[in-house]
Amino acid sequence: MKSKKSYKIFFIIAILFAIFVGMIFLLQPFPRGKLVVLSNYTGSVWNSLGDEAISNTSKKYGIEYINIPTNGAVENVRLLGDPTSAANVGPVFDRFLTPDQAKDIYSLGLIGLDPIWIFYKSTAKEKITTLQDIAQLRVSIGPKDSGSYYLTKKLFALNAMNIENNPHFISSPLEDAAADFLSGKTEVLIVAASYFAPVINKIFFEPDVKIFQLPNAVDYHGVEGFILVTLPAGSIDVHKTMPAEDIELIATTVSAAVKKDLQPALQLALTLALPDLVETTPYFFNTYYIHYPAPVFDAILKTSPVALKYYAKGPPFLTKYIPSWLIYFPF
């Protein structure tokens, strides 16, 4: 009798649970929301990998997904900080944000590094030994609301030069800037971008293109939002020994940022997508590799509490079995 009673109680509980779950799926009492993703310029890693990773996660959890192309990190900060903008996620340079820019957004984690790449034609090598020399040449650079333009402006300002007043600096969309450089219309190309950005990889293998290394690169480490990283010899192409020796580059970190009022469930869904858009970094930082994604610890931009739980505990077990609007509930 006792066994039959236990089975009966279990059966009743199972039926009640099934009804409860059925009501949740039918009524969907939790807000589903949508992800409006700033995808960056064509040729960026966020554009090529991030769009795919986030859209795949959105499909998996049934989240509405919208992609908005932008010129890069500076425009992204403006849109994420604008309460009238529908955008709620995009990559930003976390070390260069002001307190006012950071007050309404969170980082879901660091997703990589953007060094400042200064490319020049080997035929101009004798002309280039300093940034002052570069400022005398025709320089291709990204749009004024791009990260490339912003970081380049910072770099030259630290050397008492204003690129906005210099007609040698030609601002245009990244693909146009790269095309002008490769065709010979300009002599130098300056880009702040990931090693894995398609446009960067294409330029690496151009036969007459060299990477300019700042003679005093170490002096920029810790200044403003810059850090010093090393691109190891042979990391581009082992067989061709590219580069032939270690190259020191100044760079900054990139965060996947969200508006603070983005629903926790959607923040978690995005955090789950981050590993799929992160490539293994080739850089050394203070003699060790940096692993991403990772929480932000030393920038004005704070890491989302949702993301911090993810880094501490890992993904919730139930994310494999329940829809997006429930995944935060047991977390």
Is 3 contained in some domain?
no
218, 269: one domain: no
Q: Which of 252, 274, 301 is the endpoint of a domain?
A: 252
Structure-token pair, residue 126: 């004798």
Instruction: Note the pLDDT of residue 31.
Output: 44
Closest by Cα among 91, 327, 319, 53 to 192:
91
Is 2 contained in some domain?
no
Is 7 contained in some domain?
no
Contact yes or no for 81/74 (Cβ under 8 A): no
pLDDT at 139 over 80: yes
Contact yes or no for 331/268 (Cβ under 8 A): yes
3-state secondary structure of 93: strand
Is 1 contained in some domain?
no
Give pTM, 2 decimals.
Answer: 0.82
Q: Which of 252, 271, 305 is the endpoint of a domain?
A: 252
Instruction: Note the pLDDT of residue 49.
Output: 66
**Domain total in the chain:** 2
45, 105: one domain: yes
d(CA 155, CA 286): 21
Contact yes or no for 242/236 (Cβ under 8 A): yes
Long-range contact set of residues 312-318: C-beta below 8 Å, sequence gap at least 24: 315/272, 316/268
pLDDT at 14 over 70: no
Contact yes or no for 139/170 (Cβ under 8 A): yes
296, 173: one domain: no
* CATH number, residue 226: 3.40.190.10
pLDDT at 2 over 60: no
245, 272: one domain: no
Q: Which of 252, 285, 308 is the endpoint of a domain?
A: 252
Instruction: Look up the domain containing 215 and give its range.
Output: 114-252
Q: The dihedral of CA 229, 234, 237, 240: what is its sign?
A: positive
Contact yes or no for 40/47 (Cβ under 8 A): yes
Question: Predicted confidence band at 29 (pLDDT cuts at 50, 70, 90)?
Answer: very low
